[in-house]
Amino acid sequence: MGLYVFEVLGTLLAFLPRGRLRPVVARVFGEEGPPVTALLQPRRLRQIRIDAAVVLLLFAVSGMAYGADWPFLAAMSA
């Protein structure tokens, strides 16, 4: 899969509720330690979610800019 597909999937994970996100983050970092605690702090998680929303918005705007040729954008992103 392409980089952009992974970026979109990772972005969508940021919108999971904190309780569901904790095991995912712990699995990525391999333990329930300081990185997990740091990423799940309310202020940081809020900023991550804002960034994720902006990324999704940019992907949507890109698709609209391509218009009828959006499948070409999707193919390049995969």
Which DSSP letter does residue 31 get? S
Residue 49: what pLDDT? 92
Answer whether residue 2 shows pLDDT above 70: no
At 68, list the tokens.
């009828």
Residue 50: what pLDDT? 95
CA 55 to chain centre: 8
Residue 1: what pLDDT? 56
Per-residue model confidence as pLDDT tens digits over 17-65: 988 988 888 887 777 777 788 888 999 999 989 998 998 898 889 889 9
Give the number of residues written for the chain: 78
pTM of the model: 0.72
Q: Distance (Å, rounded) from C-alpha 43 to C-alpha 14?
A: 13
Q: Quick one: which of 8, 39, 1 has its CA closest to 23? A: 39
Residue 14: what pLDDT? 87
At 46, list the tokens.
């809020």
At 65, list the tokens.
């800019």
